Amino acid sequence: MADSPLRLLRARVGAGVAAAFGADVEPPESLVVPTSDPRHGDYTCPAAMSLARTLRRPPHELAERLAAALDLADVCDPPEVVRPGFVNLRLRRSWLESQVVAMVGDDRLGIGPVAEPVRVVVDYSGPNVAKQMHVGHLRSTIIGDSLGNVLEFLGHEVERVNHLGDWGTQFGMLIAHVEDVHPGGLGGAGTEVEDLEALYRTANARFSEDPAFRDRARQRVVDLQSGEPAARAAWQWMVDLSMARNQEVYDLLGVRSLVTRGESSYQPLLADVVAELEAAGLVVVDDGAKCVFVEGFTNKAGEPLPLIVQKADGAYNYATTDLAALRSRVEQGARRLVYVTDAGQAQHFAMVFAVAARAGWLPPDVEAAHVAFGLVLGEGGGRLRTRSGDTVRLHGLLDEAVARARAFLVARAAERGEPVPADIDEVARAVGVGAVKYGDLSQNRQSNYVFSYDRMLTLKGNTAPYLQYAYARIRSILREAGRDGDGGTAAEAVTVSLGEPQEADLARRLVATGDVLERVVDDYLPSHLSAHLYELAQAFHQFYEHCPVLRAEAAVRRSRLALCEVTAASLRRGLGLLGIEVPERI
């Protein structure tokens, strides 16, 4: 098993601090950090500077003492103490070589599972019944999916939940409207989701314009919630139709282990949730609605803001559902709750978490995180819309990306005078969908970003196609060498020799993947991983440029082939964790 450098160095340097200054000295927060400049080594320990005050000694002296106390000879070259008080560390060539050797043929790339795996619920995607998935669901789905992948890879027990919007006021108005326009009952097999959407739009318009209709819609919500058969049947029809269409999108995206547990499934728990809040004395009835007022939240007028848990008409809303879901997830052993929704819901989740904590449903050892993300913007700067002003459907958006990728592949084959590859549709899908995913995941999720096919699908720079190409290129080398089979290298003893600086640079990137994955789940930022993979691909290209592989003499060739293998495996694994496929040939 290989060790991620940061994990290893932090443990060793922590021990060094205790040895040099006593076990009672509080170790500083940043024990070891990567350097910003290779001239300062690979990693550095700035601890002496922060300890200078408490220990009342000059930082340089402390750094010297720390360096002398470090037990790192197997991992690093002798530490270098630099003013004002840095202890700079450089990984030993022999250590890097042994790490790369350990990664060859290892499906996990030498990355061990976390010491304390926990049960994690990742809640993402969450489309609404009666509406097609649109671009707004893109970010939730792919960010949530990749976070689930990384958490799972690190050894956690991950449950991916699709909190389907299959409940609420919208169904009251839909049912009421459908009863008006289809008095004979719901339509047959031919009904498409487009029709559901048209019904939704009309129903919505009526709801906002017609008070009588609004009252009836609200009544039908209550009917649905009490299990009235006609309302229930109409509802189920809509859910099935909608999910069948959503499944096409999930198939296209390669989203697999997402389990649908819609809002409706929490319905039996809602009354109890409110009853418990009432029993805890948290509920105040205001304008007929049952509210929980939470400190620190105010409305426009500066008055306390309520979390409404039961509306004046008796119906429950999404706050109640979210509380019920949270409570049941914790009861079932989850120790980490991850909600991937747009940033506009930040206040809602902050309030839900606060209420849950006060009700005792969210104990301190359970982490609840709202993983918020910004909007997807059009090239003009506003929300992404079609030319006619509609929201962009996710299915169409992905189809367009695949079509563009395919057109490129066809054009390139023609340029080279080659036939169109037999698997072009598969490759085009991997490239097109991968480009969309990577274009999103490589952004800081908190900011809005501008959606651009041209930028995502460009073949240069930090894009999925660039990384997929880098992978295909490496695989091509391995094929030439007859190393593309399973365990091709395992048959002979692997030795790695990092004689050239480009080889060592590549190796430093390769061994850092485990550290990067830990950061991804600490910060809930897949962009850390995309940045790492891009740097890895760049390091590979530099290596490739300066270090011939196939033409090298036998021992060097074996070593470089091992580097190629581990790089390819790292790219495949890393992109896989982002939910992106890597074709063997492009």
Partner RNA sequence: GCCCCCGUAGCUCAGGGGAUAGAGCACCGGCCUCCGGAGCCGGGUGCGUAGGUUCGAAUCCUACCGGGGGCGCCA
Q: Which of residues 279-298 bind RNA (CB under 7 A)?
A: 286-289, 291, 298
Minimum gap (Å) between residue 259 Cβ and RNA:
17
Minimum gap (Å) between residue 78 Cβ and RNA:
15
**Window of 23-31, 95-103, 134-142, 417-425 that interacts with RNA by CB under 7 A:** 23-31
- Three-state secondary-structure class, residue 514: helix
Among the listed residues 5, 66, 86, 496, the single contact to RNA using CB under 7 A: 86
Q: Is 128 in the site for RNA (CB under 7 A)?
A: yes
DSSP string covering 473-507, please? HHHHHHHHTT--STTTTTTS-------SHHHHHHH
**Window of 272-280, 327-335, 391-399, 538-546 that interacts with RNA by CB under 7 A:** 538-546
Give the residue from 433, 434, 432, 455 showing the smallest Cα distance to 377: 455
Q: How many residues bind RNA (CB under 7 A)?
A: 107
Q: Is 79 in the site for RNA (CB under 7 A)?
A: no
Pairing of strands 259-260, 157-162: parallel
Name which of residues 181 to 240 contact RNA (CB under 7 A): none
Nearer to RNA (CB atom), residue 190 or residue 389: 389
Minimum gap (Å) between residue 449 Cβ and RNA:
4
Q: Is 21 in the site for RNA (CB under 7 A)?
A: no
Site mask for RNA (CB under 7 A), range 347-376, x = bound? xx-------------------------xx-
Residues 6+ apart with CB under 8 A from 20: 62, 65, 66, 68, 69
**Window of 15-23, 45-53, 102-110, 486-494 that interacts with RNA by CB under 7 A:** 45-53
Among the listed residues 323, 516, 517, 569, the single contact to RNA using CB under 7 A: 516
Cβ contact 132:245 at 8 Å? yes
Among the listed residues 344, 396, 485, 499, the single contact to RNA using CB under 7 A: 344
Among the listed residues 455, 488, 504, 576, the single contact to RNA using CB under 7 A: 455
**Window of 95-103, 132-140, 153-161, 341-349 that interacts with RNA by CB under 7 A:** 341-349
DSSP string covering 284-342, please? EEETTEEEEEEEEEE-TTSPEEEEEEE-TTS---HHHHHHHHHHHHHHTT-SEEEEEEE
Nearer to RNA (CB atom), residue 281 or residue 302: 302
Instruction: Indicate left, alpha or beta for 296 from its phi (over 0: left) and psi (-120 to 50: alpha).
Output: left
Token pair listed for 546: 């300066």
Residues 6+ apart with CB under 8 A from 114: 154, 155, 156, 518
- Three-state secondary-structure class, residue 43: strand
Q: Is 412 in the site for RNA (CB under 7 A)?
A: yes
**Interatomic CA distance for residues 207 and 98, integer angstroms:** 68
Name which of residues 47 to 76 contact RNA (CB under 7 A): 49-50, 52-53, 59
**Window of 78-86, 98-106, 180-188, 271-279 that interacts with RNA by CB under 7 A:** 78-86
Among the listed residues 480, 485, 490, 499, the single contact to RNA using CB under 7 A: 480
Angle between helices 169-181 and 193-209 (to 10 degrees): 100
Give the residue from 148, 150, 146 showing the smallest Cα distance to 158: 148
**Interatomic CA distance for residues 467 and 150, integer angstroms:** 19
What is the Cβ-side half-sphere exposure of residue 400, based on CA atoms within 13 angstroms? 14
Q: Is 36 in the site for RNA (CB under 7 A)?
A: yes
End-to-end, the C-alpha distance of the chain in Å comes to 33
Minimum gap (Å) between residue 44 Cβ and RNA:
3
- What is the dihedral angle through the alpha carbons of 372, 378, 381, 387, rounded to the nearest 10 degrees? -140
Helix, strand, coil tally for the chain in percent (to 5): 55, 10, 35
**Window of 28-36, 142-150, 331-339, 490-498 that interacts with RNA by CB under 7 A:** 28-36
Among the listed residues 1, 22, 24, 37, the single contact to RNA using CB under 7 A: 37
Nearer to RNA (CB atom), residue 462 or residue 567: 462
Minimum gap (Å) between residue 373 Cβ and RNA:
9
Among the listed residues 76, 376, 580, 586, the single contact to RNA using CB under 7 A: 586
Q: Is 6 in the site for RNA (CB under 7 A)?
A: yes
